[in-house]
Amino acid sequence: MVLVVKSYLSAFHARRKGSVAKKPYSPILGKIFQCHWTLPNDTEENTKLVSERPVPWVSKNTVTFVADQISHHPPISAFYVEYFNKKIQFTAHVWAKSKFLGMSIGVHNIGQGCVSCLDYDEHYILTFLNGYGRSILTWSWVKLGGECCINCSKQARVQISSSILNPSMWARSTKLLLRFFSPSDKKSFCSTEGEWNGVMYAKYATWENTSFADTKKLPVIKKKVMKLEDQNK
């Protein structure tokens, strides 16, 4: 459970570095988007291709991603992520409901996903935090907001909520609050808080405090997309 939550929270800090925004993925029905991330420390065994998987031109030590637009109204996207070596799968569907807030835009993510650890027969059902683009006409930045939950019947339940460190709407820092619950307990055995794009600290029921995740030390691996004319070869 802890590793799943770490992976979920540490995924939000990676974003574009440049000041010019590119047009996002805007599919039509029937179109599929495929990409992959090649992880470091490849061995000779890991370089073998997995031709029977959804993205057949990648190796075993690769995280693959497949997305498809399954509905136009509402615009629902479905995607599948797989890490072959660790036998980890992630399936999800989501659609965004936007709201204009004057100088800001709020995007409410509606849907859910499932992380499956096949070696342990564990399945984690999760929902998504909302996103907010602040100061869209000047120097814009992104915040997280709302609440989400990660639940596994075998492990634990995690409630995640966000709050602004500074009550001003112009504050750029957002603090995430997490509480871990055992399946049969109503009292949390661990709580975590920190910034989604900074450092998060964990506090256990034994009063032990430790660093939970530090996104500033995590490497950012760029995705790779094969040219369209080469995908059908």
Q: Is the Cβ–Cβ distance between 111 and 128 less than 8 Å?
A: yes
The domain defined by 2-231 folds into: Porin (2.40.160)
Backbone angles phi, psi at 210, to 5 degrees: -150, 160
* Residue 89 backbone dihedrals phi, psi, to 5 degrees: -130, 150
Q: Residue 16: what pLDDT?
A: 58
| Predicted local distance difference test score (pLDDT) of residue 168 | 46
- Alpha carbon of residue 215 to chain centroid: 13
Q: Could you give the CA distance from residue 117 to residue 121 in angstroms, rounded to a whole number?
A: 6
Percent helix, strand and coil across the chain, each to the nearest 5: 5, 45, 45
CA distance 81 to 63: 7
Q: Where in the chain are the domains?
A: 2-231
Distance, CA of 185 to CA of 172 (rounded, Å) = 35
Over the chain (233 residues), the average pLDDT of each successive run of 10 is 82 62 62 84 65 79 89 87 91 89 84 93 91 76 82 82 52 74 82 84 79 83 80 62
Determine the pLDDT at residue 165: 42
**What pLDDT, on the 0 to 100 scale, is given for residue 22?**
56
Residue 80 and residue 19: Cα distance in Å, rounded?
A: 30
Taking the C-alpha atoms of residue 156 and residue 119, their distance in angstroms, rounded to an integer, is 18
Sign (positive or negative) of CA dihedral 12, 14, 17, 22: negative
